Amino acid sequence: MEKTYSQKEALLKTLQYTKKYKILFAGSILFSVINVGLGLYIPMLAGEAIDRVIGKGNVDFVSVYKILIVMGVCIAIASAASWFMVLCNNKIAYSVVRDVRKDAFEKIQILPLKYIDGHPTGEVVSKIIADVDQMSEGLLMGFSQLFTGLVTIFGTLFFLVKINWKIALVVVCITPVSLFVASFIARKTYSMFKLQSETRAEQTALIDEVIGNQKLVKAFGREDEELEQFDEINDRLKKYSLRAIFFSSLTNPGTRFVNSLVYAGVAISGGIIAVMGGITVGNLQCVLSYANQYTKPFNEISGVITELQNAIACAGRVFALIDEKPQIPDSDNAVVLVGSDVIETTENNKEIDVDKEVGEQNRVKKISVNGKVDIEDVSFSYDKNTKLIEHLNVNIEPGMRVAIVGPTGCGKTTIINLLMRFYDVDKGSIKVEDNDIRNIERSSLRTSYGMVLQDTWLKEGTIKENITTGKPDATDEEIIAAAKAAHAHSFIKRMKDGYNTLITEDGGNLSQGQKQLLCIARVMLCLPPMLILDEATSSIDTRTELKIQSAFEKMMKGRTSFIVAHRLSTIENADVILVMRDGKIIEQGNHEELLELGGFYSELYESQFANK
């Protein structure tokens, strides 16, 4: 269950990210104080200048001239301080946003696949991109105006008390009204901005899903249905956005009303006190100026609060992702798997030393991979209420070719997920070289397998970069040899830039068969000790498939191989065929043995080759 952040929790979490920037924070406050302090001192100078020119024949031009010079210097310093303050605030805001995005993206790398499978891609993308952008805008406005506003309020009260405490008392008495208005608006806007953020993520997820599967949408004539679903989400987003804007739009008129009350209170009380001789005309002008300056921050802070509601609502969603429980980390004494051709093994060809210099206590246990895999009494299900695999037992010796067949949903791909430890078993254990894979370093386990799946994946970049994904330091000779083995070299050479040809995201400018050949070449280059072929030739024409099968024969020689296939003709030479149904192995043996058995495998085989 994903954690839901309250407004307070999200704000505190955001502030934790600012701790790294204490110096910038202190600089922002310092420049804010200088800017506001000098800005508030200017009305005092103006009031003093006014008092120097009141009365016939009493104009003190020398003093006024000096005051004007001081005012000019104050304005120049205040402007420079304001510029430095904005610089510090921008640095803090964008640094925090960078850190949040970095943490969110890093968390995705260590999240269990269960989270990725259970959340729409568009929703996750929306959190890292759109929500963090909204958060940055709120932070920028907050840092830029919140400090200045607060310093202005307290600074104005200080100067008002210095001029006349009675007028300051009038201002303080009216202030709670403004605070009440701001608090009321803040409570209303947060819930609406939270709903707006969630609905925007839902909309992004739908758009990403529909655009990514546009061929399927058109093929099944789902345009109208998808449009209806989009309209429903879009209408909800409009409703929540309008409500959020409505409550936030109350900010300006509400605070302006309070501002007018403050100004009227100061004008009336100040006029009476001036008539009674309590303050001079210059001081009266000064307190009226302060009344304007005192109320202005409330407008700004109210606007900031509105933006912060949106920013905090978005931040809460991002922090929920960051605080997700990561996958169980590798233990400190996790075993490291390496190919038998990489290390020099001991007499039993099992356990060897790694770092002889670091001493006995810091030695890491490394295991040479020969391809022995044992699945012992394994039970697993994605949904704990729906059983899938139960009490599965398989013992695979090094170099065996293991084919897994069965109807859709029987658990074939799930076994692959468990072998690669994309998911952990609920019960039982899977062992490689007699070591439970939960005690094996994940990266070394997955490096020990070469995978070619039915679903291809290519990144934006050159063909060469895609082939060398698993072996970035490969030489050109090795790359070409792998491509030739995968029968991809001929079509690559026909392309304009050969191996340096740029391909778009997911190989959009290649055919499905060409993409599959590149994925096969990627594995051919690494040649790990174990192989997983999940419908690896499903997108390749029959003639090329025969060539690829020949290449696979060479590649699988001496390597433990797991082959998931629907076309039974591709697995006739397998050492053992596991026939699955409802998460259980119901038949086991080689091709001839299973045909003689006359069971479920025989029925599958005859259904595919009935005409023959």
* 98 three-class SS: helix
- The band of 187, judged by pLDDT with boundaries at 50, 70 and 90, is low
Predicted pLDDT at 480: 92
- The band of 573, judged by pLDDT with boundaries at 50, 70 and 90, is confident
Instruction: Please state which of the ranges 19-23, 387-391, 394-398 shows the lowest mean pLDDT.
Output: 387-391
Q: Between these two residues, 381 and 122, which has the higher pLDDT value?
A: 381
- Domain positions in the chain: 7-19+92-145+163-322, 373-448+528-608
Q: How far apart are CA 255 and CA 257, in angstroms?
A: 5
Q: How far apart are CA 5 and CA 178, in angstroms?
A: 28
Across 159-182, average pLDDT: 74
Radius of gyration of the chain (CA): 36
Across 287-299, average pLDDT: 72
- The band of 351, judged by pLDDT with boundaries at 50, 70 and 90, is very low
Residue 320: closest CA among 540, 128, 167: 128
> Is residue 16 over pLDDT 70?
yes
Q: Whole-angstrom distance between the N-terminal and C-terminal Cα of the chain? A: 53
Across 329-345, average pLDDT: 68
281 contact partners, CB below 8 Å, separation of at least 6: 50, 51, 54, 274
Q: How far apart are CA 476 and CA 481, in angstroms?
A: 8
Q: How many H helices and E strands in the chain? A: 20, 15
Which CATH number does 7-19+92-145+163-322 carry? 1.20.1560.10
Tell me phi and psi for residue 67, to 5 degrees: -65, -40
Spatial contact of 509 and 495, defined as CB atoms under 8 Å apart: no
Predicted pLDDT at 524: 86
Across 169-184, average pLDDT: 71
Across 424-442, average pLDDT: 90
Across 258-278, average pLDDT: 75
> Is residue 2 over pLDDT 80?
no
- The band of 464, judged by pLDDT with boundaries at 50, 70 and 90, is very high
101 contact partners, CB below 8 Å, separation of at least 6: 128, 132
Question: If phi over 0 gives left and psi between -120 and 50 gives alpha, with beta otherwise, what is residue 165?
Answer: alpha
437 contact partners, CB below 8 Å, separation of at least 6: 419, 421, 429, 430, 431, 445
> Is residue 80 over pLDDT 90?
yes
Instruction: Please state which of the ranges 142-151, 204-213, 527-536 shows the lowest mean pLDDT.
Output: 142-151
Spatial contact of 313 and 135, defined as CB atoms under 8 Å apart: no
Predicted pLDDT at 140: 66
Tell me phi and psi for residue 165, to 5 degrees: -65, -25
Predicted pLDDT at 354: 40
Q: How far apart are CA 270 and CA 439, in angstroms?
A: 79
Q: Which residues pair with 369 in a beta bridge?
A: 339
Predicted pLDDT at 141: 67
CA 245 to chain centre: 27
4 contact partners, CB below 8 Å, separation of at least 6: 316, 320
> Is residue 251 over pLDDT 80?
no
Tell me phi and psi for residue 113, to 5 degrees: -60, -20
Spatial contact of 318 and 138, defined as CB atoms under 8 Å apart: no
Spatial contact of 251 and 242, defined as CB atoms under 8 Å apart: no
Predicted pLDDT at 361: 39
Predicted pLDDT at 343: 38
Query: Residue 7 CB: number of other CB atoms within 10 A?
Result: 18
Torsion over CA: 225, 227, 232, 233 (sign) = positive
Q: Between these two residues, 248 and 221, which has the higher pLDDT value?
A: 221
Across 128-148, average pLDDT: 76
Residue 338: closest CA among 311, 365, 369, 312: 369
Q: CB-side exposure of 356: number of CA atoms within 13 Å?
A: 2
Across 537-561, average pLDDT: 76
> Is residue 40 over pLDDT 70?
yes
Q: Which residues pair with 395 in a beta bridge?
A: 374
Three-class DSSP labels, 1-15: CCCCCCHHHHHHHHH
> Is residue 307 over pLDDT 90?
no
Across 572-593, average pLDDT: 85
209 contact partners, CB below 8 Å, separation of at least 6: 120, 121, 122
Query: Tokens at residue 371, please?
Result: 């391809």
Q: How far apart are CA 312 and CA 293, in angstroms?
A: 28
Spatial contact of 137 and 96, defined as CB atoms under 8 Å apart: no
Spatial contact of 251 and 302, defined as CB atoms under 8 Å apart: yes
- The band of 360, judged by pLDDT with boundaries at 50, 70 and 90, is very low
Predicted pLDDT at 358: 37
- The band of 255, judged by pLDDT with boundaries at 50, 70 and 90, is low
Predicted pLDDT at 94: 85
Q: Between these two residues, 449 and 247, which has the higher pLDDT value?
A: 449
Q: Average pLDDT of the chain?
A: 80
Predicted pLDDT at 353: 41
Query: Tokens at residue 246, please?
Result: 């409505």
Predicted pLDDT at 429: 92
Spatial contact of 58 and 132, defined as CB atoms under 8 Å apart: no
Predicted pLDDT at 144: 67
Diameter of the chain by CA atoms?
Answer: 126
Q: How far apart are CA 111 and CA 325, in angstroms?
A: 7
* 577 three-class SS: strand
**Identity of residue 361:** Q
Task: Tell the residue number behind the tokens 């190989």, with chain if given.
Answer: 507
Across 63-74, average pLDDT: 86
Predicted pLDDT at 240: 85
> Is residue 306 over pLDDT 50?
yes
Which CATH number does 373-448+528-608 carry? 3.40.50.300
Question: If phi over 0 gives left and psi between -120 and 50 gives alpha, with beta otherwise, what is residue 351?
Answer: beta
